[in-house]
């Protein structure tokens, strides 16, 4: 079982960013990525050689293994300091609370600075717009140009520095917390790109939010802080600890964004976790509270506030917040918000898919990558231009201002708007001389709805929570105003008159719509913390639950939708009470045709298994007859075994031995060389183990290793050899068909003493002989306890176990015998495909995806055959080629 | 892996109730239990015969298998109705929300009725006390007698009806949600005992709470409702679903107790779960919200309230709830509460342990079981007698009244108490003509503190949350009053004067102390929901977190403390940043001497393994040489295999066959009999499977089965036989030494056609021959995928996996070979014993508990030898006896 986590982590995913890069660019992207990998791989392999097999290593020795933390001079300085401080620090710094306080502090500062900058940006826009009062055209130009420039800068800056910073970040965090390693998602570059990009994007006044990005920023901060702290102590490299810290960081992100510690913890749990460890609870609360506290204290110190209060404080009456008979209206808000939330998610996905599918648009936008953000911004800001259409939808108010006015505790419809609203100047924006306040609200809701859905597809760091929250508040306000107009003296029939409070409806609407879009209940708590009042708890809870019920039955959550669009690995939730799923067993969904290797197989079997399959790990069974499962081996391990066997150094040794047998004079040289080979093999094993330990540090998954030498090929080619260079390389023809290169390039440099005088046919014959030898698994890292299920395990239980342990696949065994395998793919298909299954007997959807599984492997097989035919012309008949894409599939 | 859950569930625990029954009584208790088991076992074995092997069984057939749900005539009626309604119901009733609504509704009603009855009881006491105004002695008598009678009744009633209802219930729910089956904890009897016992206990006015018991009541309600609903549809028997529903029920319990849906969900998660499935979130929220809503609506309908508001509504000012400079005072409250909370837990445990250890006290109390509650009540009520010492500690106020006055937003110290407090009459109780209000508060805190710790040890259904909450509020109030006296005009230095609000301090104190005692953060949320104000969110959060930090480092939570006292199975949490634990590996803590059976062993091996070991499950390996782990088998399975082999029916068959061989005439009779034997064997297997499906229904764990016949022995003895009755019984001498009886008593009734004419020696010889046969595992239920770990799995990861999956033990394998086993016990010792371990090299604590593990098994071994010697006198030399307590150990 222990190795499954690392399998999962090593799971590769196609890096298709939703907005930042389009799929057609992947070729270019792959090249850049490859160059980067090559470079860092070289550095890594050097540093990793220094590392010992890490059992019992003390914290100090570990430091040298992390090349990313600091540049060399800085590290020197730090290590001088460290020696002095270590005795004290080592005992203190390792404790979680120090880390959490630092994290909270940094994030509060970041949040406050970002807010401050955004406020300045928004003020600047207002000032420009106000200053050009005389000329309407100039005013329009100023109003429109400002956001276009900011958004374009944000998009360009993010694109150049770190395209990973684009979008919300919550979907990626959910994937990372599931145990998948997303490269480059937690680097300093991304941090800078995200913070600056977000500030500019929000400063433009577009309907975008800061919540999602703040979850990402907090996680980045935690990862960087963790790396920094690992200078002082070793525990920061522990994988499970890092996951715990990231979970706490997500809570901090939401907490310091809204000054809502409790809501932050709960919201982050709901959107990022499937199973939550209660022992992490306090971490989230502690860090989020501290962060929210500092965030608000900064406001007090800055004289913005007199004391610590809520961000959008409301002043509803406490004695009689609402009447029991108003509850149906709240329920209506909930249900309507549910539909609205589902529509928002659908609309958002539709826009992305439309742009992706329309090839002409796509091509055009690809060329001018910043055109799309600019166009969208232009459209949105034109429509909100206050003297233009904006006058009918309170266009001159920023997001925060609209929210404050919407949550106001006075009624707009009944009382005279003009007089009352001089008090708070902003609320006047809702009043139009010709048009009713109801029309303004309806227009605001409709326009903001599609604008927000559109704006969140812009490739800048941005969230959708806040825009949705404001739309929800507006909708609630609309219902509230209607109720107030309908019952001017309140519904309550007793002696005292309690007028209806439309602001309360706005609170309910905001919680309900944002809950529906994100599929969370904790928006209720966020709302209480944002407004500082909990008097409407029951209406809010009822509306949020109803909105969730409706939205969850119609659409995935916004974050799950983005996960699917971005093709991140995921496991769908089991639906609401789809009890028919309890009747499906693992035996119904498992793949029975398992690829396996036996303990006494020869290298030829290994070769054919590697060539046919595309699984990340292969099962190791005792023998084909007994099928007793002994463990699982990673593909990369087998590939290295095979490459070892067919390596040039072994061939050179063979040549040497042959020469020795012939000439009886070179025996001592061959000795020293074989030792070298053995040493390298043990290094390889060390590498595997050391990557298992640290996942947050951007180590590439071990299985990717063979790619690196492939990119090194040109250097190999430069060496003058006697062999024809075209298809056959120095080492392993059979192997070449697997990797298109040799993984032991380093070995080439130290066997110049013997000349490789073998002909092509001799090499092939030698390789044939090598392939017939029995595999020696001693140098190979075997996971001795891969996760196992039984045939009769229910789908429900399988789902639970997969999501609990973050599994990628599990073997199905029957009394020790391997009979099948279930991967995330099968499980996903079973859950998504079996919605219509009733009872046990009806299994067409299950059968269908089992078939589709076969058909997909068939198409792969034909592709393989094509390749095989191509390679056949240049290589020997016995060797069969495989496609390079093998590495990436599954 | 799939079978581990059931292993865990089957785990037996010593039924030692903390307060209700003392361990010395276990003999008596065992007899009662045995009688009950025998009875229900007979019913069960009959009904289970009707059950088919449950694969593919439709929901309708299942109904007949559940004898507990309804009595026969009612079931007939229901089944007539069902046929008609089923088409509609089956599609609706299966959905979770119907269940949750019903649960919420029922619990709201229960909560309201209980509250109503408690209020009447308290009023009655006040009325009696007030009516006897003339005579102080009579007044005292009335004041004291009333609670003594109520508590004694409550204790007696609970004792007689269901001793499981005693205490809080949260520790038991935590254990149950971990996957352990606690017998009788979720029955109707317990429900009745808990509700009535709780009402009486709280009606007495003792410092007891209703929160813990309500968690239990809600779970009882869910279990019973689930059983009832299973009449309509099959899904209610699904085990994982039942766990999910129980988790939701815990939330409902807290939610409807305090009308705090959000706090209820969070609190229940924190106190009952280790890992929480986020997909269950909505269930808790939905049910708790509905329940809280109905609970408050009932109050509105009853004209107690005008509309739905908080239970203990506060009216603090919104604009400036607290000054930034007051935060240190809040922090002081938090830290002091942390110490106080730890002290409370310690005091509570001390009292229990003192009573247990003092043998004279214990003996006396055992005889007069109701004396202890009566004495404690007498003491507490004497001290609170209002004209007596009670005048110095607001003795005449009930718990709720004290809380309302403590949360009042006026300041007591500064303003004239007498005039102000005519407004709310209750607050006058705090004022004493001679004594300062500070003294009253201090006395209240000190007296209530030990009173609550003492009162919660009374064997009645009661919780400690509310008393602790009130004490915390009083402590907060005390600090607040001090602050108000110190800064009469508030701390704020600006122009406006904001006086200090001591009520806010009371809120903070209540949350902090209850958080410290229960080790939860969510008391903060409960406090907001109880008071209806969230303005003090930051002080409350800070205080709660500090209180938790202090309390968690000093003592376990109250519930964990009770779990340890009651010896329920538990897994301690990994402490705050004890990073040295990351360095311990499974190989350091595992037991290397694993008991196993091989695939080709004979019955004699089985016998000796069963006799030596005391593990619940045994590993099945391929052979002693290869040690390849094939699966695990439950002890009970092996016992039944062995009993099968040595059964009387098989011996009778042998006699028959021998007779047939001699007389050649009885061949047809022996045929029919052997069929009967086979049928019974398959029943046995069916039984095992059916228990796996339903855990909430009070099926006894399968492994306990052999105990039942042991208790049936007297009836066997009554049958006249030719054999000497003293030590050797009809069946299996070797077996007898294992079970002290034969498990196939039923078989005795249908083989009267052949006479058992074998002598004692013949039987022994026959058994010897039987024991040499090879074991046939075909009829045996093997768990083919027991949970496996690798040697190098870290302690942290092992802990995570154990708590995630609720494991009881895991095998340690190395490439398929079994090399060790880790159980909850080893893990617990590793966590609790290794606090001082630093680094990897230092392992004395680990070594020490490994030794202690050996020594404990040595003492067991000597005990075994004693028994062996005793049995040796009566049985044949080859058979070795085992102790009865084998079943209970591990």
Q: Express each pLDDT in A561-594 by its tens digit.
A: 988 888 887 777 665 445 555 567 777 888 888 8
- Is A411 within 8 Å of A481 (Cβ atoms)? yes
> What confidence score (pLDDT) does residue B165 get?
87
The Cα–Cα gap between B521 and B575 comes to: 16
Least confident of A101-110, A625-634, B92-101: B92-101
Arithmetic mean of pLDDT over chain B = 71
Do the Cβ atoms of B320 and B492 come closer than 8 Å? yes
3-state secondary structure of B598: strand
Where is average pLDDT lowest: A870-879, B269-278, B506-515, B837-846?
Answer: B837-846
Q: Please state the length of chain A.
A: 890
Is the model's pLDDT at B277 over the cut of 80?
no
CB B86 within 8 A of CB B63: no
Please spell the DSSP secondary structure of B438-479, one letter per residue: HHHHHHHHHHHHHHHHHHTTSSSS-BSHHHHHHHHHHHHHHH
Instruction: Give the per-residue pLDDT at A702.
Output: 36
Q: Could you tell me which of B817, B802, B827, B853 has the C-alpha nearest to residue B7?
A: B802
Which pLDDT tens digit goes with each residue over A35-89? Answer: 555 554 444 443 333 333 333 333 333 333 333 333 445 556 666 656 665 555 5
Mean pLDDT calculated for residue range A495-499:
77
Smallest CA-to-CA distance from B6 within A128, A369, A793 is with: A793
- Between the alpha carbon of residue A855 and those of residues A666, A829, A878, the distances in Å are 56, 15, 26
pTM for this prediction: 0.72
Q: Tell me, what's the pLDDT at A450?
A: 92
pLDDT, tens digit, 9 for 90 and up, residues B664-710: 655 554 455 554 444 444 443 333 333 333 333 333 333 333 333 33
CA atoms of A211 and A465, how far apart (whole Å): 6
Return the CA Rg of chain B: 31
Instruction: Compute the C-alpha angle B348/B354/B359, nearest 5°.
Output: 150
Looking at residue A501, its pLDDT comes to: 86
pLDDT over 60 (residue B736): no
| A768 touching chain B per CB within 8 A | no
SS3 of A282, please?
helix
Q: Is the CB of B816 less than 8 angstroms away from the CB of A322?
A: no
- Partner B contacted by A497 (CB < 8 A): no
Q: How confident is the model at residue B414 (pLDDT cuts 50, 70, 90)?
A: low
Q: Minimum mean pLDDT among A462-471, A639-648, B723-732, B750-759: which range?
A: B723-732
pLDDT greater than 70 at residue A747:
no
Percent of chain B with pLDDT over 90: 17
B393 in contact with A, Cβ within 8 Å:
no
- The arithmetic mean of pLDDT across residues A327-343, rounded, is 94
CB atoms under 10 Å from CB of A678, counted, come to 11
For residue range B448-472, what is the model confidence (pLDDT) as tens digits? 999 999 998 888 999 899 999 999 9
Phi first, then psi: what are they for A144, rounded to 5°?
-90, -40
What is the average per-residue pLDDT within B115-131?
88
pLDDT of residue A551: 92
Beta strands B817-823 and A788-789: pairing type? unpaired
pLDDT at position A315 over 50: yes
Inform me whether the C-beta atom of residue B619 falls under 8 Å from chain A C-beta atoms. Answer: no
Confidence of residue B234 (pLDDT cuts 50, 70, 90): low
Point out the residue among B521, B533, B535 whose CB comes nearest to the CB of A285. B521
Higher pLDDT, B195 or A75: B195
Residue A182 has what pLDDT?
77
Residue A846: pLDDT over 70 = no
Set of chain A residues whose Cβ sits within 8 Å of the Cβ of B543:
none
- Tell whether ipTM is more than 0.95: no
Confidence of residue B824 (pLDDT cuts 50, 70, 90): confident
Is A632 at the interface with chain B, CB within 8 A?
no
How are beta strands A275-277 and A629-634 bridged, if at all?
A: unpaired
- Mean pLDDT within B317-341: 88
Mean pLDDT of B384-405: 84
Q: Which of B417, B563, B547, B566 is nearest to B475 (CA)?
A: B547
Residue A727 has pLDDT above 50, yes or no: no
* Better pLDDT: B235 or B249: B249
User: pLDDT tier at B232 (50, 70, 90 boundaries)?
Assistant: low
CA distance A95 to chain B (A): 5
Q: Which of residues 824-883 of A touch B (CB under 8 A)?
A: 839-841
Query: What's the pLDDT score for residue A804?
Result: 73
- Angstrom distances, CA of residue B671 to CA of A673, B379, B460, B675, B676: 76, 73, 58, 6, 9
| CA–CA min distance A230, chain B (Å) | 13
pLDDT band per the 50, 70, 90 thresholds, residue B198: very high
Q: CB–CB of A545 and B285 under 8 A? A: yes
Of A285, A310, A545, the CB nearest to B286: A545
Residue B439 pLDDT > 70, yes or no? yes
pLDDT at B1 over 60: no
Spatial neighbors of B60 by CB under 8 A, at least 6 apart, are B86
How near does any CA of chain B get to the CA of A1, in Å? 6
Residue B604's pLDDT is what? 81
Q: How many angstroms separate the CA atoms of A515 and B643, rounded?
A: 60
Angle between helix B170-177 and B239-258 (nearest 10): 150
A682 has pLDDT over 70: no
Phi, psi dihedrals of residue A865, rounded to the nearest 5°: -65, -40
pLDDT exceeds 70 at position A477: yes
Q: What is the pLDDT of residue B575?
A: 55
Provide the pLDDT for residue A440: 87
Q: In this prediction, what percent of chain B has a pLDDT beyond 70?
A: 67
Q: Is the pLDDT of residue B553 over 50?
A: yes
Say whether pLDDT at B522 is over 50.
Answer: yes
Are B277 and A800 within 8 A, CB to CB?
yes
Q: Is B278–A269 a contact, with Cβ atoms under 8 angstroms apart?
A: yes
Q: Do B840 and A306 touch (CB under 8 A)?
A: no
User: Is A7's pLDDT higher than 70?
Assistant: no
Contact A311, A298 (CB under 8 A): no
Question: Does residue B870 or residue B336 have the better pLDDT?
Answer: B336
For A:676-695, CB contacts with B below 8 A are none
Give the A:B interface size as CB pairs under 8 Å. 273
Which residue of B316, B579, B688 to mutate against A (max A Cβ within 10 Å)? B579
Q: What are the chain B neighbours of A800 within 8 Å (beta carbons)?
A: 240, 277
Q: Mind listing the pLDDT tens digit for each residue in A802-825? A: 777 777 788 887 777 788 888 877
How far is residue A804's CA from residue A787's CA, in Å, rounded to a whole number?
A: 12
pLDDT band at B546 (very low <50, low <70, confident <90, very high): very high
Average per-residue pLDDT for chain A? 71
Long-range contacts of B66-74 (CB under 8 A, 24+ apart): B66/B227, B66/B230, B66/B694, B66/B697, B67/B43, B68/B227, B68/B697, B68/B698, B69/B227, B69/B228, B69/B230, B69/B231, B70/B231
Distance CA A401, CA A394 (A): 10
What integer pLDDT is reported at residue B548 of this predicted model?
92
Cβ distance of A538 and B289 shorter than 8 Å: yes
- A235 CA: distance to closest CA in chain B (Å): 6
Rounded to an integer, the average pLDDT of A609-624 is: 77
**A538 in reach of chain B (CB within 8 A):** yes
pLDDT band at B574 (very low <50, low <70, confident <90, very high): low
Which of B317, B811, B816 to mutate: most A Cβ within 10 Å?
A: B816
Test A784 with B532 for CB contact under 8 angstroms. no
Mean pLDDT, to the nearest integer, of A629-633? 81
Q: How far apart are the first and last CA of chain A?
A: 20
Closest residue in B to A99 (Cα) is B577
Q: Which residue of A has its CA nearest to B273?
A: A278
**Cβ contact B521–A281 (<8 Å):** yes
**pLDDT tens digit sequence for B850-886:** 223 333 333 333 333 443 344 434 333 333 333 333 3
Q: Quote the strand ranges of A540-694, DSSP E.
A: 596-598, 617-621, 629-634
pLDDT at B238 (0 to 100): 61
At B163, the pLDDT band (50, 70, 90 cuts) reads: confident
Q: Each residue of B767-780: pLDDT tens digit? A: 888 888 887 777 77
At residue B304, the pLDDT reads 73
pLDDT digits (tens, 9 = 90+) for B243-259: 788 888 999 998 888 88
A534/B538 touch (CB, cutoff 8 Å), yes or no: no
Which A residues 548-587 touch B at CB under 8 Å?
A: 548-549, 573-574, 576-577, 579, 582
Cβ–Cβ contact A96 with B under 8 A? yes
Above 80 in pLDDT, residue B44?
no
pLDDT of residue B38: 52
Give me the residue label for tokens 């933390």: A69
- Over residues A274-285, the mean pLDDT reads 80
Confidence of residue B315 (pLDDT cuts 50, 70, 90): confident
């Amino acid at each position: 079982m222990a190795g499954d986590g690392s399998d999962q982590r090593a799971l590769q995913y196609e890096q298709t960013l939703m907005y930042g890069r389009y799929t057609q660019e992947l070729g270019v992207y792959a090249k850049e990525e490859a160059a980067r990998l090559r470079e860092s791989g070289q550095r890594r392999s050097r540093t990793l050689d220094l590392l010992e097999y890490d059992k019992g290593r003390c914290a100090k020795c570990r430091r040298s293994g992390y090349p990313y933390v600091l540049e060399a001079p800085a590290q020197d300085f730090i290590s001088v300091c460290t020696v002095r401080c270590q005795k004290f620090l080592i005992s203190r710094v390792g404790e979680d609370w120090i880390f959490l306080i630092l994290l909270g502090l940094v994030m509060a500062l970041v949040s406050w600075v970002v807010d401050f900058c955004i406020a300045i940006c928004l003020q600047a826009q207002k000032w420009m717009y106000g200053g050009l009062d005389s000329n309407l055209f100039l005013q329009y130009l100023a109003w429109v140009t400002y956001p276009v420039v900011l958004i374009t800068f944000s998009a360009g800056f993010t694109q150049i520095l770190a395209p990973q910073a684009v979008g919300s970040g919550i979907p990626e965090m959910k994937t990372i917390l599931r145990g998948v390693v997303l490269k480059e998602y937690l680097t300093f570059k991304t941090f800078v790109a995200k913070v600056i990009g977000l500030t500019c994007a929000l400063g433009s006044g577009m309907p975008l939010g800061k919540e999602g990005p703040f979850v990402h920023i907090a996680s980045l901060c935690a990862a960087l802080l963790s790396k920094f702290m690992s200078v002082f102590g070793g525990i920061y490299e522990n994988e499970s600890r890092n996951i715990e810290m990231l979970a706490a960081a997500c809570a901090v992100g939401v907490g310091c964004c809204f000054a809502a510690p409790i809501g932050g913890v709960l919201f982050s749990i709901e959107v990022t976790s499937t199973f939550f460890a209660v022992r992490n609870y306090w971490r989230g609360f502690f860090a989020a509270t501290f962060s929210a506290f500092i965030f608000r204290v900064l406001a007090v110190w800055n004289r913005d506030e007199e004391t610590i209060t809520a961000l959008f404080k409301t002043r509803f009456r406490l004695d009689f917040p609402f009447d029991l008979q108003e509850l149906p209206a709240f329920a209506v808000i909930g249900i309507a918000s549910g539909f609205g939330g589902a529509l928002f998610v659908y609309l958002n996905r539709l826009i992305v898919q439309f742009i992706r599918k329309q090839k002409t648009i796509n091509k055009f936008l690809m060329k001018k990558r910043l055109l799309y953000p600019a166009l969208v911004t232009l459209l949105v800001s034109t429509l909100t231009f206050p003297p233009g259409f904006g006058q009918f939808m309170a266009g001159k108010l920023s997001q925060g201002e609209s929210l404050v006015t919407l949550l106001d505790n006075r009624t707009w419809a009944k009382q005279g708007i003009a007089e009352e609203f001089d008090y708070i100047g902003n609320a006047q924006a809702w009043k139009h001389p010709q048009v009713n306040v109801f029309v303004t609200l309806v227009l605001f809701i409709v326009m903001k709805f599609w604008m927000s859905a559109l704006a969140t597809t812009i490739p800048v760091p941005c969230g959708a929570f806040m825009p949705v929250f404001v739309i929800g508040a507006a909708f609630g306000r609309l219902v509230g105003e209607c109720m107030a107009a309908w019952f001017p003296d309140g519904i309550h029939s007793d002696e005292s008159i309690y007028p209806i409070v439309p602001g309360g409806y706005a609170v309910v609407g905001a919680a309900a719509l944002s809950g529906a879009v994100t599929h969370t209940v904790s928006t209720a708590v966020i709302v209480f913390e944002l407004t500082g009042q909990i008097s409407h708890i029951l209406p809010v809870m009822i509306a949020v639950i109803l909105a969730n019920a409706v939205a969850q039955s119609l659409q995935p959550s916004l974050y799950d939708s983005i996960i699917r669009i971005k093709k991140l690995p995921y496991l769908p939730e089991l639906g609401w009470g789809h009890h028919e799923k309890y009747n499906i067993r693992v035996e119904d969904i498992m793949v029975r045709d398992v690829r396996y290797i036996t303990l006494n197989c020869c290298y030829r079997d290994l070769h054919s298994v590697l060539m046919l399959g595309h699984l990340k790990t292969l099962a190791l069974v005792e023998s084909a007859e007994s099928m007793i499962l002994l463990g699982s081996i990673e593909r990369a391990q087998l590939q290295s075994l095979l490459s070892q066997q067919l390596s040039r150094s072994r061939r050179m040794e063979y040549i040497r031995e042959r020469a020795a047998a012939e000439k009886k004079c070179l025996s001592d040289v061959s000795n020293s060389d074989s030792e070298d080979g053995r040493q390298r093999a043990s290094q390889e094993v060390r590498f595997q183990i050391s990557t298992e330990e640290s996942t947050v540090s951007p180590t590439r998954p071990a299985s990717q290793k063979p790619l690196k030498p492939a990119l090194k090929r040109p250097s190999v080619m430069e060496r003058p050899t006697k062999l024809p260079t075209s298809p056959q390389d120095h080492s392993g023809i059979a192997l070449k068909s697997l990797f298109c290169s040799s993984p032991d390039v380093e070995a080439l440099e130290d066997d110049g003493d013997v000349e490789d005088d073998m002909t092509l046919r001799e090499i092939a014959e030698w390789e044939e002989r090598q392939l017939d030898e029995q595999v020696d698994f001693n140098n190979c890292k075997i996971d001795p306890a891969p996760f196992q299920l039984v045939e009769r395990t229910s789908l429900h239980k399988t789902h639970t176990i997969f999501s609990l342990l973050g599994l990628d696949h599990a073997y199905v065994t029957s009394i020790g015998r391997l009979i099948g395998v279930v991967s995330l793919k099968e499980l996903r298909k079973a859950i998504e495909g079996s919605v219509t299954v009733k009872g046990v007997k009806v299994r067409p959807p299950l059968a269908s995806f089992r078939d589709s599984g076969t058909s997909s492997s068939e198409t792969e097989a034909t592709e393989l055959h094509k390749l095989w035919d191509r390679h056949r012309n240049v290589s020997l008949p016995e060797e069969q080629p495989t496609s390079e894409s093998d590495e990436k599939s599954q």
